[in-house]
Amino acid sequence: MSKVYVTRQGPMIAVHDLSLEMRHEHFVCLLGPSGCGKSTLLSMIAGFVTPTSGRILVDGRPVTRPGRDRGVVFQEYVLFPWRTARQNVELGPLLQRLPSAEQQQIAERYLALVGLAEHAHKYPRELSGGMKQRVAIARALANAPQVLLMDEPFGALDAQTREVMQEELLKIWLAERKTIVFVTHSISESLYLADDIVVMTARPGRIKEIVRVDLPRPRERGSPEFVAIARSVERLVKEEVLKAGLV
C-alpha cells in the first residue's frame, strides 16, 4: 500500500508500495530514519489516516477507522488532563458500558500491573513523564485490544527511565501476549524488544529489510551477539540516513 500527502510544496510520497505481514502475538519494531513514514504506517494501522492505495487488514478485516481492537500509545502520552490516572484507565471499559464496579476493578488491575496503584487518584499534571506513559499503557491494555500500536512511546523520556520502561513493557508483553507494533528510531531499543525489526528506507518509505532477532529474553545489551546484530542494523539504517541527506 501507499500514502501520498498533498502539501503546499506539492504531493509528498510518505509510503510507497509497502507490504508487510506482522506475525500474531509477536513484537514488531518499525525502525528507520526520521521522515521514513514509519509513523504514517502506524497511523494507517490505527485508522487515523487512510491509505491512498492498498489497504490494511487486522485478522483479515480491513481497517476503515480507529477502533478498540487496536490500542494506541502515543509519544506525547495524550492523557485526558481532566481525568485522574484511574479515570483515564477506566475510560475504555466505560465506553464499553461495563458496570462501574467492573470498570474500577479493571482499572485497578492494570494500574497495579504498571506499578501505579498508589497514584490512581492523581491528575496527569501531578505525574512524571514515565508515570504518564505507564498510565497510557495501562489505559490501552485495559481495553483488551488485539494489537497494541506504540508510536515512539519512550522517545520523550530520559535514558534511565527509558530502559526501565523497556524492561517493564517486555514483562507486560510476556504476561499479556499481544501483537505489538512499536515505532522507534533507536536501534538498541528495537533490538532489546523486538522479535522482528522492520528496517524502513528513507522517503518514500519502503521495507529495506526485516531482521529477525532470535536472542533469548531478557537480552543483555552488552553481550557480543547483541552488539553484533546492533552493528549490522546500524549499517542498514546509516545507509538510509545518508541517502536521505539527513546528516
Partner 1 sequence: MAARVEARGGAAPLDLAAIEAASARQERRRRWQRVSTRTLSLLALFGAWWAVAAANATYFKWFNPVLLPAPPAIGKEAWRLLVLGTLQWDVLASLARVAQGFVLAAILGVVAGTLVARVRTIENVVEPVLDVLRPIPPLAFLPLLVLYLGIGEASKIGFIAYSAFFPIFTTTREGIKYVDPLLVRAAESLGATQRDILRYVIIPAAMPSILTGLRLSFALSFFVIVAAEFIAAERGLGFLINDAREFFRVDRMLLGAAAIGLLGYGFNQLFGRLERALVPWKD
167: which 3 cell numbers? 524492561
Q: How far is the CB of 123 from partner 1 (least distance, A)?
A: 5
User: What distance in Å separates the CA atoms of residue 69 and residue 179, rounded to the nearest whole number?
Assistant: 11
Contacts of 168 (CB under 8 A, 6+ apart): 114, 115, 134
Q: How far is the CB of 35 from partner 1 (least distance, A)?
A: 19
Give the interface with partner 1 as residue ranges (CB under 8 A): 46-48, 65-68, 70-72, 74, 76, 78, 80-83, 91-92, 94-96, 123-125, 139-140, 143
Nearer to partner 1, 143 or 184 (CB): 143
Q: How far is the CB of 111 from partner 1 (least distance, A)?
A: 16
Nearer to partner 1, 8 or 125 (CB): 125
Task: Specify the amino acid at residue 27.
Answer: F
- Whole-angstrom Cα Rg for the chain: 18
What does the DSSP assignment read for 4-63? Answer: EEEETTEEEEEE-S----PPTT-EEEEE-STTSSHHHHHHHHHTSS--SBS--EETTEEP
Nearer to partner 1, 84 or 201 (CB): 84
Nearer to partner 1, 139 or 208 (CB): 139
Is-cis flag, bond preceding 33, omega within 30?
A: no
Q: How far is the CB of 236 from partner 1 (least distance, A)?
A: 31
Nearer to partner 1, 40 or 201 (CB): 40
Helix, strand, or coil (residue 83): coil
Q: How far is the CB of 63 from partner 1 (least distance, A)?
A: 12
